[in-house]
Chain A
């Protein structure tokens, strides 16, 4: 096989990123980038969730907690001294990764539904904490003013008059989240195809047997929660710049937790493409539904679709197509 074929996934990643960039440069309506950000952010969140939930079989209900830690780390950094967006994301990812390691250490001995409940409790505890933390706005929330002309390594990123790479912040954020989502998918796929992914699969199938076959189950689960958590944290850290107003209710919204598990389950949990398909599909449908119907009905639709899939296509869209072939 030629080298090109061997790296076709990596090439695909680059192509998608180039496409995202080109879209920001050809005068597409700004609403596309606003809605597109939400969809691509879900690709990242679903992909991150699937590393622990899909490969390892541990259902994390605390996605909102990890996102919230990312968001509020970013807000705290802005409040503290106007730290710029790239370090916001890196530190947000680090904090959420640490949280993943910490939570993992204390909860990963719990199996099945107990783990799920523990992670749900985590999100609630964190939300309560932020509700009472005035430095980042407390329960009332906080407005974030994205910098007018952000620069990166001396290059002007955004300028309304055309002197920067992007004409507005939304375009920039869309490109940035696209790059982050692609990176996450690459990480997930690398894990899936490596020793770690095979070990996590063994854990999902039978944890005790995996341990007795030499798989260091606790260590693998800790790596998975840390990686998964830090990617979620990164997806959360970029959020304040996009929303410009953040309150705990938004940042810790349970809808994230539901979407994070619904999207991989609908797309298919056993391979990286499943969460991507699920998030693109459900994310787009929801963006349309939010505009045309209401966000409550939106959640109902999500629930119904999830139930249908769990019953009729337990291996998701990917599994359904693979069976057909």
Chain B
């Protein structure tokens, strides 16, 4: 098999005396749909923060597409092809929905891309996301669901090789979840590798080709979705026994 797109080796992250991640290792391959589950507080977002660079891991190493991410700033990692959403949406609130998407397009594309080209690309992503009619709306007026979709749309606008979605579907209805899943699978089919963090078990199990489970900062299970749902450790972590 070819080199993995993302390789995490014994990553550790401490907050003071509290260990949020301990010795987590995993590999994500190009084109894969990868699920990351675990109870609240198990370290999922912290792991994403270490990958995207908003937190610096204390130990271990992360490699992405030939880069050693250690010491790389978040914007450099974005340029290298990693884009993430935030669990609690962080829109650029003084901008319209369309302008939110233009920021990553403009900054990731470098010079040589014109404003009309940027707007076209942004609009085409909004269309795919079913948000075209919101393009010129201020983000302040958006519903929680629309904000989550905007998070995804904006991350996709960074044209990532690896998209990391941090509970982007919380609060969505069954139909909306299916709709977003379909969109993500569409991007995956075009070659985008996707890590999905999700509490909605049905969604993550349907979506993922491979799943890992974190509990209290440790990787406790890894396997195909049907193996994970049967895993005793995962069951214990979720039921708290």
- B107, A213: Cβ atoms closer than 8 Å: yes
Inside 8 A of A205's CB, which chain B residues have their CB?
A: 91-95
A208 close to B103 (CB less than 8 A): no
A211 touches B103 (CB 8 A): no
- Asked if A213 and B94 make an inter-chain contact with CB atoms under 8 angstroms apart, the answer reads no
Give the A-B pair count, Cβ closer than 8 A.
Answer: 76
Q: A90 to B8, alpha carbons, bound, how many Å?
A: 51
Q: Is the CB of B103 within 8 A of A216?
A: no
Interface residue from B53, B73, B78, B103 paired with A199 (Cβ < 8 Å): B103
Residues of A in contact with B, size category:
20 to 34
| Beta-carbon contact of A212 and B52 below 8 Å | yes
Of the stretches B28-36, B79-87, B184-192, the one at the interface is: B79-87
Whether A210 is near chain B, meaning CB under 8 Å from some CB there, is yes
Docked pose: A111 CA to B170 CA in angstroms: 30
Q: A204's contact among B91, B94, B104, B158, by CB below 8 Å, is which?
A: B94
Cβ of B161 to closest chain A Cβ, rounded Å: 13
Q: B177 to chain A: closest CB distance in Å?
A: 24
B83–A212 CB distance below 8 A: yes
Cβ-defined contact, A215 with B107, below 8 A? yes
Interface: A257 (CB within 8 A): no
Q: Given that A201-B95, A204-B94 are contacting pairs, would A213 and B73 also be in contact in the complex, using a CB cutoff of 8 Å?
A: no
Give Cα A265 to B149, complex, Å. 33
Contact of A214 with B158 at beta-carbon distance under 8 Å, contacts A199-B107, A209-B86 already known: yes
Instruction: Please give, as numbers and ranges, the residues of chain B lying within 8 Å of A201 by CB-CB distance.
Output: 92, 94-95
Return the CB mask of B33-71 against A: 1 if under 8 Å, else 0: 000000000000000000011100000000000000000
Q: Does any Cβ of A come within 8 Å of B74's Cβ?
A: yes
CA distance A52 to B94 in the complex (A): 16
Docked pose: A270 CA to B138 CA in angstroms: 15
B75: interface (CB < 8 Å): yes
B102 at the interface (CB under 8 A from A): yes
**Would A216 and B75 count as touching, CB distance under 8 A?**
yes
Minimum C-beta distance from B174 to chain A (A): 29
Q: Which residues of A contact B (CB under 8 A)?
A: 195, 198-199, 201-202, 204-206, 208-218, 270
Q: Which 10 A-B pairs have the closest CB atoms?
A: A214-B107, A205-B92, A213-B104, A209-B90, A214-B78, A211-B74, A214-B108, A206-B90, A216-B75, A202-B103
